[in-house]
Each structure stands twice: as structure tokens, then as C-alpha cells.
Amino acid sequence: MDAIKQRIAALETYYPPLTAKGDLELFWEETLREFADKPLHATTVREHTPLALADVYKVTYEGYDDTPIHGWYMLPKPAAGTRVPCVITFHGYHGGKGFPEQYSQWLLMGYGVFAIDIRGQGGETGNRLVSEFGMASGWISQGVLDKRSSYYLAIVIDCLKAVDWIGGRDEIDPAHIYLEGSSQGGGLVLLTAALSDKPALAVANVPNMCHIDFGMLNSTGSLTELSKLSTVFPDKLEAIMDTVSYFDVMNLAEKIRIPVLISVGLKDTVCMPETVYAAYNRINSRKEIHPYPFMGHTNIGYHNRLAMRFMESYRQEHTASKPEQG
């Protein structure tokens, strides 16, 4: 067996101990119940764009708190009058929803798209989350001493509320709500898949927020912010580790019940292979992982096409299986 196959074989049997606390299930049951009926206060405004074959809308809604979360809602024009699948997409750390045209591939497949900002980062969305303690540079250490007021909780609820908004749209087929994202977005995809029963499948590219304790020790990415805060306040390390355990995909992976497609780069120093496999190995639903031996923290065109085929295969399979009406 060559070195590449050996490396992958070792990752396929990697099961680090879970870091979940005894009240993990109770925490999420109570939290989801608390936010289930929280009003979205959503607004939708038509936007004029260069996309002649798409209807584009600027959407704002409220998730965790009263912060207006901004998003692009896009529909392919030829599908007017019919219910279409929808891709809900979450961006990577420091990013934003960008411009509508960057989602053209989904529109050309006949899918709707809902692309949201993650609060406070590089988009149009601010952040009204209250900070009771200091932070390291960036966002993820905000409120990290208390799971109920942490930045992680805020962005997870924001994503779950995005799914709720799409689930209520007459133009969208509720049986074909798909999640897609990379890095931070990939982690949010998996957490949303674990906590919501509305999505039908999930595509998580080089996902973050997996095996967070290992990441804090080794990652060169966002988790270094938690490490920095712990270095300044070593007496807060236990509280930090307690909070992040509730948002670690590894601890929630067994709650995922939908098909999942994941990519991992064996040279990724941000979301290391160990972190991705620690979560992937505990998913019990239909799943695929594609390890790329020489890929770092990125998403390559080859895998992007696999993701498109993964979604379309699911759509065709489950559309064909629907009983005839009449």
C-alpha cells in the first residue's frame, strides 16, 4: 500500500473521543423550541441585475436576534409558475454573499438559490450580538464563554431561520431544499443538516467546525482565534471548550439523516483531514467523501461538478419516484 492509500485508510478508521456534554440533546431541544416561533420579519425587494434569465430579490430576515440578515433570493425565469429545488448556500469565513451572478451554475440547472451573509463578516450584514467579554481578532470568540449567547449559536440559528424562510416559499419545492457551503459554510451546512428536518441533502466542502479541540491545537485558520483568547486568559479555557463542544459537528454528526457529500484536502492546514473525518465517520446516513491528496483549503472544479451531479441525481431519483397526481 502506497503512502497516499495508507493515509486515507488511517483516516477512515479515525474515531477520536466525542467531547459532547451530557446535556447536549437537551440544550438543542430547548434551543430549537425557543426559536421555533421567533418571527422572521422578512422583507423582499426585487433587484435589477445583468442576469436576464433570473429573477433576483434582496431579502432581509431576522435569525438569532434583531440583526437584519441580508441574502440574495434567486429564481430561474423559465421555471416561473412551477415549484423548483432550492440551494441554500453559506459562505466561508471572512466572506459574504457576494453578487448574484456567482450563483449562475445553480440557476442554469433550474434551481432557486438563497445565499445569505454570515453576520458581521464580509457582507452587508452587521451584528447586534451583545459582547459580555473581550474577544480575539475576528468573530468566533464573541460570547464564547457562554453557549447560550455565543457567536456560534447566533450563526447557527441564522442558518436554521434561512431554511425556515425558504421552506415557506410557494415557488420552492419543500422536498428539494439543498444545503451547500465551503469551510465555515461547510460546517454550517452540516450543523443545519443535523438540527433541521427540512433539507433534503447537504454538500459540505472542506468543512470547518469539526473536531474543534484538535483544530484549536493544529489549525492555521479561524480556530486560532480561540487559541489566542485562551492564551491571554488560560483560566477561561475550560469554559471555551465547554461552549464549542455544543457546536462541534463531530458531536452532532449522528443526527444527520440526509445524503451528504463532503470533500477533504489532505494538505489542508485550516480544516485538517483528521477534523473532517472525525465528523464524517460518525454520519450514519447515505454519504460520500472525496479525499484529494494534493489539495489544500480550497474547492476544485472537479469536485464542484461532482456536487452538481450529486444534487441532480437526487432530484431526478426523487422526482421520478413521486406518485402521479389525478
The domain spans of the chain are 3-312
- Catalytic residue of the set 183, 196, 219, 230: 183
Tell me the CA distances in angstroms from 234 to 149, 151, 245, one per residue in order: 20, 20, 18
The mean of the pLDDT values for the chain is: 96
- How is residue 35 written as a grid cell? 426559536
Q: Give 85-134 pLDDT, tens digit per residue.
A: 999 999 999 999 999 999 999 999 999 999 999 999 999 999 999 998 99
Tell whether residue 93 is among the known ligand binding residues.
yes
CB atoms within 10 A of CB 214: 18
Q: Measured between alpha carbons, how far is 190 from 33 in angstroms, rounded to an integer?
A: 20
Q: Measured between alpha carbons, how far is 245 from 21 in angstroms, rounded to an integer?
A: 7
**Which has the closest alpha carbon to 317: 307, 309, 306, 305?**
309
pTM: predicted TM-score of the whole model, two decimal places: 0.96
- Catalytic residue of the set 70, 211, 297, 303: 297
Per-residue pLDDT, 79: 61
Q: Known catalytic residue: 37?
A: no
Pairing outcome for strands 260-265 and 201-205: parallel
| pLDDT at 322 exceeding the cut of 60 | no
| pLDDT at 149 exceeding the cut of 80 | yes
Q: Known catalytic residue: 91?
A: no
Q: What angle do CA 319, 325, 326 make, to 5 degrees?
A: 165
Q: What is 3-312's CATH superfamily? A: Alpha/Beta hydrolase fold, catalytic domain (3.40.50.1820)
- Catalytic residue of the set 117, 158, 213, 268: 268
Per-residue pLDDT, 183: 98
- How is residue 19 written as a grid cell? 467531547
Q: Residue 157: which H helix or E strand, with range? A: helix 151-167
| pLDDT at 80 exceeding the cut of 90 | no
Q: Known catalytic residue: 173?
A: no
Higher pLDDT, 61 or 78: 61
Pairing outcome for strands 43-47 and 54-62: antiparallel
Q: 323 burial class (0-12, 13-18, 19+ CB within 10 angstroms)?
A: exposed
Chain position carrying cell 464524517: 280
| pLDDT at 151 exceeding the cut of 50 | yes
